[in-house]
Amino acid sequence: MGDGKKEKIYYQRGTEELKMKSIRAQKLVQEFNRSDFEEFEKKENIIRELFGSAGEGLSIEHNFHCDLGYNIHVGNNFYAGYNCTILDMAEVRIGDDCMIAPNVGIYTAGHSVEPKDRNKSGYGIPITIGNKVWIGGSCVILPGVNIGDNSIVAAGSVVTKDVPSNTIVAGNPAKILRQITE
């Protein structure tokens, strides 16, 4: 979990309200993923309907998945590669000029460590990704994490704690490799 003290948002699985929100999102995700490659305008319109907000220059490759969609907010010039999954039971805010490589998972959702009723409820903790961030292939970003502006998350990393601005992190769990300087 990130170092910032973000509030957990609790939810009950299987409620009628959550089912309806999920069905809405999954229909839009299915339509997006079934769209022909060259149907750029159609795909962008679907994502704009799905997401809470999206800037200009939006580009997401096929096999995208999310929970609800409306909790996802991306800035200008957002790119997500193939097989991106965003579990947005809480808000995910991504700044301008961000690139997400293939097979990345951004997960706001979590469950109790206690086995009793673990499968009946869960929580979400918001994730914030700053401007000009590059997330390498096959990374996982866990609930509550903040990633600062201009940072790089190296391929294969599991980010469990906040990443300061202008930093390169790598590993499982991700650790600071070095600062990015001019």
Q: Are 155 and 139 in contact (CB under 8 A)?
A: yes
Cα distance between residue 115 and residue 92, in whole Å: 27
Identify the active-site residue in 62, 65, 73, 111.
Answer: 111
What is the number of helices (H) and of strands (E) in the chain? 2, 20
Rg of the chain over all Cα atoms, to the nearest angstrom:
16
| Residue of 112, 124, 130 lying closest to 180 (CA atoms) | 130
Residues 6+ apart with CB under 8 A from 43: 32, 35, 60
Mark whether 111 is an active-site residue: yes
Cα distance between residue 75 and residue 78, in whole Å: 6
Q: Are 166 and 148 in contact (CB under 8 A)?
A: yes
Distances (CA, A) of 32 to 72, 92, 100, 107, 142: 16, 20, 18, 20, 25
Give the active site residues.
111
